[in-house]
Amino acid sequence: MSRRVRHRRPGKLLVIMAGGALAAACGGPGTDTSQTAPQTGTTTTSLSAAPTCGTAPITVNAYFETGFPMPKALTTEFAKQYPNVKWNIREDQFAVITQNAPRVLADDPPDLMRLPQVSELVKDNLLKNLDGYATAFGWDKWPPSQLQQLRLGPGGRPRGEGSLYAMGLNFSMTGVFYNKKLAAKIGMSAPPATLAELDDALAKAKQAGITPIMQFNGGATGGLAFPLQDLMASYGPAAPINDWIFQKQGATIDTATNLTATQHLEKWIKAGYFQKDVNAVDYATMMSRFIGGDGLFMFDGDWESGNLDKQMAGNAGFFLMPPAQQGGKRAAMSAPLTYGISAKAKNADCAAFFLNWVATNDKARDIAVEVGGSHPMGLADAHMPAVQPGTVTESTLAAGAQIGKDNGAMDFIANATGAIYAKSWTPQLQKLVAGQQTPEGLLKSVQTDYQSQVGGS
């Protein structure tokens, strides 16, 4: 998702993983690095030993998403523990990364890169096959659901099975943040338990002169995809949405329940529940306004938990999107924060060692929770830092456990193809806000674009 959505996975159990045992096996500075690296394409060579970053000075080139502190916090800590490693980090907005990923990986390949949708990148042999690393580091011992979304078949399809081509820095998840002081003004003492209760809170906020939902939908990133997918999860099961995102044969986004969800979003738009300039607001502006007290609700991801615990200490809450029916199961966009290694990376072994360190080192796992607000990757019994009661981070971690229990993890609808977010979801959602598109037309248009991009399947 832009986020981390995106971003954030069918049947995914949001388990807490990784331990320090593998870190010792990986070796540190001074360990011999004379092993065979995995090959690109659909095959990989077994490694005789787990790679390291060695002891000689090395500069790892990285391409990260701007505006998110966790990756840089991790690289800073890594450099402290491995002082021979320096980081050369380039940053761009996720929409820019999405558009530029194929060219960057082909022409100016970084060692480590924040990835958008990966199917086309695998098809074009732009990403390194990580199967050899997975065996050497023991990633294949992790709960399989953690890496399911990062596995792809020959030629990049289908997703959800096959070889491993990417890794997560953590598991991100989306839901609804709310301002507790504003909630108290409308008599909301607990998160809504049903979609009808959420609708009621929105109406009361509007009547009280409070912006009901602060959301971004400007530029190249259609942030209304967040509430739209949440509404899809309220009305229907997660599995068909994942099938569509994973490009399963015959999958469609144009279903009866998704139409009902899109119509519900249109009702929110027409009722004035989003700020008037929503189509002009980017992500950073949304965050600034929400932190400043403008907006009762905000649809966003747990990567902001640590930030909100600092910026809105004691005044921010979080809940999963409520179901349409009382007692219904919860679902959310939830997936690894996806990073990959270029097929042409000069320092692939060090990049892989870093990815393993993120999941197995105690300090790195602390950063994933305290800065990223999300579950670390790795083994189920690995170190987890204590979380302060009453914080947003406590709420998001508990919500992740609920999603695992309900088997409600979804990938982000913007990740279905490499172009679907910028070329279809975003302009269609902006037209919906402007009254230039209908819910029926939106879904049909997106499905047509999807079929042309995946070859008519």
Q: Rounded to the nearest 5 degrees, what angle is found at the Cα of 421, between the Cα atoms of 415 and 424?
A: 130
C-alpha 94/C-alpha 223 separation (Å) is 12
Does any domain span residue 1?
A: no
Q: What is the pLDDT at residue 24? A: 28
**Do 82 and 42 belong to one domain?**
yes
Q: Are 133 and 183 in a shared domain?
A: no
Q: What is the pLDDT of residue 111?
A: 98
Q: Answer whether residue 45 is part of any domain.
A: yes
- Structural domain including 215 reads 173-334+408-454
Q: Are residues 428 and 285 in the same domain?
A: yes
Task: Evaluate whether residue 397 is within a structural domain.
Answer: no
Q: Are 380 and 143 in contact (CB under 8 A)?
A: yes
pLDDT value, residue 143: 80
- Quick one: what percent of the chain has pLDDT higher than 90? 67
- Confidence (pTM): 0.80
**CA 154, CA 352: separation in Å to the nearest integer?**
22
User: Same domain for 247 and 369?
Assistant: no
Mean pLDDT, rounded, of the chain: 88
Is the pLDDT at 30 greater than 80, yes or no? no
Do 312 and 358 lie in one domain? The reply is no
Domain of 436, CATH number, reads 3.40.190.10
Residue pLDDT, tens place only, 240-272:
999 999 888 899 999 999 999 999 999 999 999
Q: Once rounded to an integer, what is the mean pLDDT over residues 200-211? A: 98
User: Are 54 and 144 contained in the same domain?
Assistant: yes
**Quick one: 195 and 151 in the same domain?**
no
Closest CA to 287 of 268, 269, 307, 273: 307
Structural tokens at position 318: 């979080």
CA angle 399–17–332, rounded 5-degree value: 30
Q: How many domains in the chain?
A: 2
Does residue 314 sit in the same domain as residue 377?
A: no
Give yes or no: residues 272 and 223 share one domain.
yes
Assigned domain for 13 exists: no
